[in-house]
Amino acid sequence: MNDLCHKLQLLPEERALILKHGYPFERLENALKRWSKSQAIKRISVSEWELSMLIGELSRTFNHGEAGADEDDLIALCDRLEYTQQTGDGDLEMLGW
């Protein structure tokens, strides 16, 4: 559970979505808040369990209609996180960055 096996590159907009609509655990929340004003792409490490719980929470927000105007961005983030979970590739190159 504590094995930080997934490395994610996150855009500022994605970090904001996680803070707004997800329930990041304390370690992840602290990292996201620390970088909240940065416009740089940041890499974070998460465990399999943290990633699974994050995907679940963001999906729940979407499925319950709680995402509001962020629906499209939230589903795109969930898709990318699921891709990372399945392949181990959390880099933005998969998006053409």
Going by pLDDT thresholds of 50, 70 and 90, the confidence category of residue 93 is confident
* Residue-averaged pLDDT of the chain: 89
Q: Is 84 exposed, middle or buried (0-12, 13-18, 19+ CB in 10 A)?
A: buried
Is the pLDDT confidence value at 96 over 60? no
- pLDDT reported for residue 39: 94
* Structure tokens belonging to residue 36: 């909240």
- pLDDT reported for residue 74: 95
pLDDT digits (tens, 9 = 90+) for 23-70: 778 888 898 999 988 999 999 999 999 999 999 999 999 999 999 999
Tally of CB atoms within 10 A around 12: 15
Q: What is the DSSP annotation of 60-88?
A: HHHHTT--GGGHHHHHHHHHHHHHHHHHS
Say how far apart CA 53 and CA 77 lie, in whole Å: 14
Is the pLDDT confidence value at 79 over 80? yes
For the chain, count helices (H), then strands (E): 4, 2
Is the pLDDT confidence value at 7 over 80? yes
Going by pLDDT thresholds of 50, 70 and 90, the confidence category of residue 78 is very high
Segments making up each domain of the chain, as ranges: 6-95
